A and B are shown apart, each in its own frame.
Chain A
């Protein structure tokens, strides 16, 4: 518990985490404002009757970039080498002096990341859905009981993505590679989406399976995966990666 409090305190004192929070709230919020106003234009012209079913959710799929930054910097900040004048040390040596059990350290770290990402997802989902409602007014898709599991799916997807980012960073011990790969794959047409066009098994990659938890109308989908199955597939990926990261972390020099 003390280890978790320490990790949460480290996380909250990192400026990069606040930048990640800003990105995670602003990206989906601003994008939702833009897409909702163009959807409103289409409705006013008579080109569409209602806003698309995924309004708001589609934007939250981009906003996951905030969770990615959170997961990466939470781990990479431990491995940043101080300048020679201040001893050339790394925070990880201090962290492991304070919490010598590596598994306990990693558990506390991932728990802090998961809590942070889930909170970020809840704030971002609230903001984005609020923006959609304000812009679309009466044309906004009604929020009903069916949206509760979808919004829970958003929180789940963000948390898992942050954990994936953290797990990869534990293996690389530097933030640039996981950040580049994961952010590049958040683009409108992602690499994994391209792979699903060639090989249907690619639908079971973590991000493609995970978005099924809340996206209902996936353009050009080549496989039918239910929300629950998608969530379970992503859970399996995250678990596998974290186990690999834990094995590597406990067995190698810090």
Chain B
């Protein structure tokens, strides 16, 4: 007589299944596509506005990557909303209980959610960054200030990475706060009101996630002690990792 072998799945297979499940949830959420679509429409419109302002000479620069990436400062709001929605949509109507029945390992589930989000957002972030730069290059044409290819590529990849990491931070905050509106207010209030004001008045603010992240793609000021793009990337990655870790540990300890 043979003893029936208990069906088990390896850790690796479980992780892959969790990632596939999270990806499927994310791409089947209409809000994902509405948010991404809206953001990717608004970004070129703002890029045209900025380029027009650049032709009038009121932006203080005619560098193609600087003007083309400037709209990111506003359209990051769309990416923030996407991150918040990805995390908080679990809590509207109790989907979270189904999720945790299917994937009881909470740390694995939330990590898979962030990974799935990164997979969806990175191409969108690259498109947002590239569309602005292409528009700026096309409209400015010969009047643009010369830039090296290395600087342009660095700014582009920096902007795409910044948007992706900001989305992940938003999802982590969303997982902690669990309410869409509250999380959106906290993040947008920080990014658009508190962050810029702190940057102007407090010197230590350059190590905060928004200012450090800006250093990844914004033209750095020529003075000692500023955060370089590489340092900015390291700082923002560290902030993201810490916030995701906090979100995971909170998620493991709290009731749903």
Name which residue of chain B comes closest to A82, CB basis: B93
| A window 131-184: CB within 8 A of B | 175-176, 179-181, 183-184
Answer whether A184 and B56 are a contact pair too, CB < 8 Å, given A16-B181, A191-B46, A191-B74: no
Contact of A84 among B52, B80, B94, B185 (CB under 8 A): B94
A229 and B192 alpha carbons, distance in the complex (Å): 29
A181 and B75 alpha carbons, distance in the complex (Å): 10
Contacts of A198 in B (CB 8 A): 49, 52-53, 56
Answer whether A176 and B180 are a contact pair too, CB < 8 Å, given A23-B189, A84-B94: yes
B193 within 8 A of A: yes
Interface of A is mostly: helix
Check if A19 sits within 8 Å of B182, measured CB to CB: yes
Check if A183 sits within 8 Å of B56, measured CB to CB: no
Check if B53 sits within 8 Å of A16, measured CB to CB: no
| B window 67-84: CB within 8 A of A | 74, 77-78, 80-81, 84
Q: Which of B93, B180, B193 has the most CB of A within 10 A?
A: B193
Name which residue of chain A comes closest to B70, CB basis: A194
In this complex, how many residues of chain B approach chain A with their Cβ under 8 Å: the count is: 32
Name which residue of chain A comes closest to B58, CB basis: A197
What are 16 sample pairs from A and B whose C-beta atoms fall under 8 A apart?
A27-B189, A34-B202, A35-B201, A65-B189, A69-B185, A76-B181, A81-B92, A83-B92, A83-B94, A175-B180, A180-B184, A188-B200, A194-B53, A197-B56, A197-B58, A198-B52
Answer whether A84 and B49 are a contact pair too, CB < 8 Å, given A27-B193, A179-B185: no
B197 within 8 A of A: yes
Check if A183 sits within 8 Å of B201, measured CB to CB: no
User: Which B residues form the contact surface with A (CB < 8 A)?
Assistant: 46, 49-50, 52-53, 56, 58, 74, 77-78, 80-81, 84-85, 92-94, 180-182, 184-185, 188-189, 192-194, 196-197, 200-202
Q: How far is the CB of A79 from chain B (nearest CB, A)?
A: 11
Check if A188 sits within 8 Å of B94, measured CB to CB: no
Check if B201 sits within 8 Å of A34, measured CB to CB: yes
A197 and B59 alpha carbons, distance in the complex (Å): 9
Q: How far is the CB of B201 from chain A (nearest CB, A)?
A: 5
Q: How far is the CB of B90 from chain A (nearest CB, A)?
A: 12
Check if B188 sits within 8 Å of A183, measured CB to CB: yes
Name which residue of chain B comes closest to A27, CB basis: B193
Check if B50 sits within 8 Å of A194, measured CB to CB: yes
Check if B193 sits within 8 Å of A19, measured CB to CB: no
Check if A31 sits within 8 Å of B197, measured CB to CB: yes
Contacts of B181 in A (CB 8 A): 16, 72-73, 76, 175-176, 179
Check if B197 sits within 8 Å of A34, measured CB to CB: yes
A85 and B193 alpha carbons, distance in the complex (Å): 38
User: Which A residues form the contact surface with B (CB < 8 A)?
Assistant: 16, 19, 23, 27, 31, 34-35, 38, 62, 65, 69, 72-73, 76, 81, 83-85, 88, 175-176, 179-181, 183-184, 186-188, 191, 194-195, 197-198, 220
Answer whether A179 and B56 are a contact pair too, CB < 8 Å, given A35-B201, A88-B93, A184-B74: no
Q: How far is the CB of B113 from chain A (nearest CB, A)?
A: 19
Contacts of B184 in A (CB 8 A): 176, 179-180
A83 and B74 alpha carbons, distance in the complex (Å): 33
Name which residue of chain A comes closest to B46, CB basis: A191
Contact of A81 among B81, B93, B196 (CB under 8 A): B93
Name which residue of chain B comes closest to A37, CB basis: B201
The 10 nearest A-B residue pairs measured at CB: A187-B192, A183-B188, A184-B77, A198-B52, A197-B58, A188-B196, A197-B53, A180-B77, A34-B201, A83-B94
Name which residue of chain A comes closest to B196, CB basis: A188
Q: How far is the CB of B204 from chain A (nearest CB, A)?
A: 13
Contacts of A16 in B (CB 8 A): 181-182
Q: How far is the CB of A179 from chain B (nearest CB, A)?
A: 6
Contacts of A194 in B (CB 8 A): 46, 49-50, 53
Contacts of B46 in A (CB 8 A): 191, 194
Contacts of A38 in B (CB 8 A): 201
A109 and B233 alpha carbons, distance in the complex (Å): 47
